[in-house]
Amino acid sequence: MEANVGSQDRVVRIVAGILLAVLAYMEVLPRVPTIIMAVLAVYLLISGILARCIFYKIADVDTCIQEQPYSDADDRSGL
């Protein structure tokens, strides 16, 4: 699977994952929501580090910046 998570998305995922992991570690919620929060934190951290998201793949979403071919005036004028 190729990378489909852009750099800004990766930063948000990693920061959110760390925040959720800290909250799960501190156990600010009851047991079941804390477990869900921990699993979500792990998923966000892994997908942020690897730049791959299975849900983006299913939805055919790609937040990576794709290089556009360079276009100069000659190409646009048809010469």
Mean confidence (pLDDT) of the chain: 87
| pTM, full prediction | 0.78
Q: How far apart are CA 41 and CA 46, in angstroms?
A: 9
Give me the residue label for tokens 């699993």.
39
pLDDT of res. 69: 58
Cβ contacts of 77 within 8 Å, gap of 6 or more:
none
Spans of all domains in the chain: 1-59
pLDDT range class, residue 1, cuts 50, 70, 90? confident
The answer to whether the CB of 4 falls within 8 A of the CB of 52 is: yes
